[in-house]
Amino acid sequence: MDEKIREYIVNAFPIQWVEYSEELRDASELIWNESKNTWVHNNFPIRQNKPGLSRTYFLNIGFSLENLIKGLLISENPDYLKNGKISPEISSGHNLENLISKITTLNFDEKEMDFLKILSKAIPNWSRYPIPKRWETENNEKIVSEDIRKQFLEMWNKIGFKIYELTKDGWNGPNGVKLDIWRSSYFEGTLNFEIPNSKK
């Protein structure tokens, strides 16, 4: 196997998706704290007062969950990385509802699906640009709130813990590339498991 293909697969291990998603999650917490001190006062087209970093927050949490969902899908199906190419089945667009429908190890309730629907519209539209890509698209911008933050963090934990459960004791990737046992200080405090014996 080409060493560059192997390197690509190693860099796309589920743990890598978790780590980048974690960076975005941590950045969203900084944005959340600052959003309470920053306000935008619009008079056009209508009078509106809103947190100044609301759209930025949604963009961050949307990308954070997108990375995490893709990490779980790769955990379940390593062939999404076969031959050093990420499958278009999970890399086309930002439709989180579509991505989540491919997950086999977790179920999601109606509230969670509604939340993903909001983020699926936010990422390519109102959290990214001041207008939708087409005039026919309605701009249903949401405003950041404690409830939104809570939903995001709960969903992040749910998906993140599942990735950890599936890969912490090793993971067989595509093309014979394997992930060894790994441990996360974040997840270890929550999951109940025994550290396996390692052969010297």
Ramachandran class of 176: left when φ > 0, alpha when ψ lies in -120 to 50, beta otherwise: left
| The pLDDT value given to residue 126 | 62
Q: Which residue has the higher pLDDT, 108 or 193?
A: 108
Distance between CA atoms of residues 57 and 118, nearest Å: 13
| The pLDDT value given to residue 96 | 94
Exposure on the CB side of residue 57, measured as CA atoms within 13 A: 25
- 38-89: per-residue pLDDT in tens? 666 555 455 456 666 888 899 999 999 999 999 999 999 999 999 999 999 9
Contacts of 55 (CB under 8 A, 6+ apart): 122, 126, 127, 128, 141
3-class DSSP state of 51: strand
Distance between CA atoms of residues 104 and 91, nearest Å: 18
| The pLDDT value given to residue 135 | 63
| The pLDDT value given to residue 158 | 96
| The pLDDT value given to residue 196 | 40
- 3-49: per-residue pLDDT in tens? 899 999 999 999 999 999 999 999 999 999 888 776 665 554 554 56
| The pLDDT value given to residue 197 | 39
Q: Which residue has the higher pLDDT, 150 or 123?
A: 150
Contacts of 133 (CB under 8 A, 6+ apart): 124, 125
- 131-189: per-residue pLDDT in tens? 666 666 677 778 888 999 999 999 999 999 999 999 999 999 999 999 899 888 888 87
Handedness of CA 95, 98, 76, 87 (dihedral sign): negative
| The pLDDT value given to residue 43 | 52
For domain 3-184, give its CATH number from 3.40.50.10490, 1.20.120.330, 1.10.1740.10, 3.30.950.10: 1.20.120.330
For the chain, domain boundaries: 3-184
